[in-house]
A = this chain, B = another copy of it.
Amino acid sequence: MRELHPIDSLGLPLYKEVKSQMVAALSAAEWKPGEAIPAEKLLCVRFGVSIGTLRKAIDELVAENILIRQQGRGTFVTVHSRGPRQFRFFNYVSHDGKKDYPQLTIVHFSKAKADKICAAKLGIAVGAKIFNIITVRGFDDAPFIVEDVKLAAAVFPRMTEALLRSRPVSLYNQFQNDHGINVVRIEERVSATLASAEHAELLSIKPGTPLLQVHRVAYSYNDQPVEYRVAYVNTEHYEYSRSVA
C-alpha cells in the first residue's frame, strides 16, 4: 500500500518523517506552548499515514517531553510555566528528599561579547553579542545557588532587563512566553570548587566553602543551543539529584 516517495528516499522510517514535520510545525510556532495540537485522526489525514504510525511519532515527542497527552482532552505542547514540568530541569533536593522551587533574584544584567568558551557552547562567533545575567536562588534569606547565565542576543532579540525582571519565576518559562524559545534538553558537567569572595558574599557563606560548579548548556528543538550557564551551589542543605534508568 505504501509507495516510495522522493521524500523518504533518505531511508528514514515514515514515522520519523512525520515526527520531523511535527517538529517543524512546532519550530514555526504553528502549534504554541500550552495549546492542543490537532486530533490524531486529523493528523493522520494531514500526513497521509495510519493511526499507528502517527502515534509512534507522537510517542517519541512525548518521550522527549515536547508534547503531553491527556486522555479525553487532547495532546498539548509542553509548557514550563506551571506544574511538575517546571521543575524538570531543577535538580536540587533538600536532605530529606523534598523538592521545592526557590525564589529567583536577578542581581545583574548586561550586554557583553562572547568569549571563546561561551561562543563554542552557544554555537556562535567569538565576539558576537550576548546577554550576561547573574541570578541568586534560595529560600527567604537563605540563598544557595548563584548562576551566571549567557544568552545569544541573536536568539533573544527582544530581551531587556525590564522584561526579565517583570516575571521572576522561571527563566525557561520566560524564554517560552516572551521569546518563543522552548528548552527541551540540557547537558551538565559538575565539579567541586571553593567559594570565591564574590560568591561567598552572594551566598552568605565563608570564602573557601566547598561548592558545586555546574556547567549547563540548554538546547531547543533540533539540538540548537540557546543558553549557557554556570551555577555555584552551596550543598550544605540542598543536594544535586539525579536518576539513571
Contact = CB atoms under 8 A, between A and B. Distances in A.
Interface of A: 52, 63-65, 88-89, 91, 93, 184-194, 210-212, 215, 233, 235, 239-245
Given A192-B210, A192-B211, A210-B210, A187 B233 contact: no
A241 B240 CA distance: 12
A84 to B, nearest CB: 14
Contact of A212 (B63, B93, B194, B212): B212
A65 B244 CA distance: 10
Q: How many copies does the complex hold?
A: 2
Contacts of A240: 189-191
A93 B192 CA distance: 14
A189 B244 CA distance: 12
A242 B188 contact: yes
A242 B187 CA distance: 6
Contacts of A52: 52
B88 A192 contact: no
A232 to B, nearest CB: 10
Which of A63, A64, A89, A235 gathers the greatest number of chain B CB atoms within 10 Å? A235
B64 A185 contact: no
